[in-house]
Amino acid sequence: MPTQADPLIRYLRELESQGQSHISVDDEARMILRKFFLRARAGGAQTPSGPQKSSPQPAAAAIPAGNPQSAPAPVVEKLSPSLTVEGSTASEKIDSLRRQAIKWAPAQALSGLRNTMVFSVGNPEADVMLVGEAPGYDEERLGEPFVGKAGQKLDGILQAMGVKRTSVYLSNIVKFRPAMPNQTTNNRKPAAEEINACLPFIQEEVKIVAPRVIIALGGTAAQAMLDCQQSVASMRGQFHQYQGVPLRVTYHPSYILHNEATSEKRKLWEDMLAVMDFLKMPVSEKQRGYFLTQ
């Protein structure tokens, strides 16, 4: 027989299927969950009858089978509500995500993010998906990722690979520009809670686009997708996995803007060559020799 707990159970199972193991709760949600827990132990799963105080859909932490009063507070992270993917084609599904991102409540609730949403661009059925950290001043102004100086550098990298910008899929982990006091053209990297608020979009984008390979540009994107705190230097040079898709970590184009050393350019280029080889793209001897020092 259906109970009032069923929607919550379905919600938690959906989060679990997405790989989430912890979620945050407020005091009211914790009290409701303890009632579910105690009634289940007593042999009944019914929740108290009568009207309940309206509250946002709770995000519940797993409660151990011991005494709930003596259980230690779990380590939790803030999670976002589930996205609804609509449409039959990849383009329609991406558009449905874009519409939801405009008024994405978890992001809007954070004072550290600005109001203009900058979504992904490119081919929604691309073989190559490139992911950065967040839009900057130029991206916010033009409403498109990778259009500033770092974006121009990325365009040059793609051109050197023989790849058109329109043939790849370009996205960012965070869909809003991180805010700063008295902000003009200056930018900052997103905070952990800002990344967590927007991470469900990248998870769904990867499912929809189904790229053959993902390129994580910079430490913020790589750490968010691989759930680690390693440096780019320690993660690059090999393929990782994200949702079953090979992922290559390399430096963000902005890093090359600030470090023009040929050796650093070569490191980034070697990661691009590895992607080209993985995709069995034609690579000339001239391309293989870019940024090699004599």
Residues 169 and 271 placed together within one structural domain of the fold? yes
Q: At 175, is the secondary structure helix, strand, or coil?
A: coil
- pLDDT > 70: what percent of the chain? 72
| Residue 197 covered by a domain | yes
Residues 65 and 170 placed together within one structural domain of the fold? no
β-bridge pairing 169-172 and 121-122: antiparallel
We report the CATH number of the domain holding residue 116 as: 3.40.470.10
Residue 267 identity (one-letter amino acid): K
Residues 69 and 95 placed together within one structural domain of the fold? no
The C-alpha atoms of residue 171 and residue 68 are separated, in whole angstroms, by 43
82 pLDDT tier (thresholds 50, 70, 90): confident
pLDDT of residue 214: 99
Residues 107 and 22 placed together within one structural domain of the fold? no
Cα dihedral sign, 46-51-52-57 = positive
CA 148, distance to chain mean position in Å, is: 21
Residues 125 and 35 placed together within one structural domain of the fold? no
Residues 146 and 249 placed together within one structural domain of the fold? yes
Does pTM surpass 0.75?
A: no
- pLDDT, the chain, mean: 85
Evaluate if residue 9 carries a pLDDT over 90.
no
Residues 123 and 181 placed together within one structural domain of the fold? yes
What is the total count of domains within the chain? 2
The C-alpha atoms of residue 260 and residue 255 are separated, in whole angstroms, by 9
Q: What are phi and psi of 67, to 5 degrees?
A: -70, 115
Evaluate if residue 34 carries a pLDDT over 80.
no
| Residue 293 covered by a domain | no
CA distances from 277 to 30, 37, 217, 282, 285 (A): 51, 53, 18, 8, 13
Weakest mean pLDDT among 60-64, 178-182, 261-265: 60-64
Residues 50 and 191 placed together within one structural domain of the fold? no
The C-alpha atoms of residue 208 and residue 200 are separated, in whole angstroms, by 12
Phi-psi region of 128 (alpha: psi -120 to 50; beta: other; left: phi over 0): beta
pLDDT of residue 52: 46
The C-alpha atoms of residue 117 and residue 135 are separated, in whole angstroms, by 9
| Residue 236 covered by a domain | yes
Strand pairing partners for 246? Answer: 241
The C-alpha atoms of residue 230 and residue 128 are separated, in whole angstroms, by 23
- Residue 161 belongs to what domain range? 90-288
More confident residue, 9 or 184: 184
More confident residue, 71 or 136: 136
